[in-house]
Amino acid sequence: MKKLSGMRVAVLAAEGFEQAELTRPVRKLQHEGATVTLVSLKPGAVQGMARHTPGRARHVDATLRDAKAADFDALVLPGGFLSPDLLRQNALALDFVRDADTLDLPMAIICHAPWVLVSAGLVEGRRLTSWPGIRDDVSNAGGLWVDEPVVRDGNWVTSRDPHDLAALERAMVELFEERVPELRDREPAPTRKRWPKVFAGVLATAALGLTAHRLAATR
């Protein structure tokens, strides 16, 4: 069985997400057996970016009007210059992230994505990293900014930029894998096979007949 089999992961992204910061984690998650859902602000597709150059568009699987954090077991927030800025201005996106954190869902957060956490009021007292350009935003929101490839703090793992993706992928899988035993526990126990009612009736009748025979023999 793969490490993340049975895990449902939401990837929250909007127009202008950094392409590698979405595609690489998604590929890694799927390789490990997770089911990945791209959640966004509107249906259709969202355009990726490779820094300042347009990249590939990605199909949106669910919108924030339909998806709830409780539907998932983990969350990925890709970066990019535009996507996190659009998400941080959307009330549904902020509620989704707040709910995910309240549920203690493991979260992988990349590059500019901590902007969403800042606007959601979740950064204060947390230790994290990000794209260096938003260091002041994190610090001003009460977060402890660290210049490291990957930083783990509770249910969060954060990284700085696409150069850190290999390290982030390892840390992400390790963090998400900690939730897998809980997923196994929630799976329904296998149902016991029951005899068909007709056959059960036959057995009951035979048992009654045998009892009557024994009683008659003792008289």
Closest CA to 96 of 119, 125, 130, 79: 119
What is the distance between the alpha carbons of residues 189 and 167, in angstroms, rounded to a whole number?
A: 37
Determine the distance from the C-alpha atom of residue 168 to the mean position of all C-alpha atoms in its chain, rounded to a whole number: 15
Q: Is 112 a catalytic residue?
A: yes
215: exposed, middle or buried (Cβ count in 10 Å: 0-12, 13-18, 19+) = exposed
98: exposed, middle or buried (Cβ count in 10 Å: 0-12, 13-18, 19+) = middle
Catalytic residue among 31, 112, 163, 213: 112
Query: Which amino acid would we find at residue 31?
Result: H
The residues carrying an active-site annotation are: 112
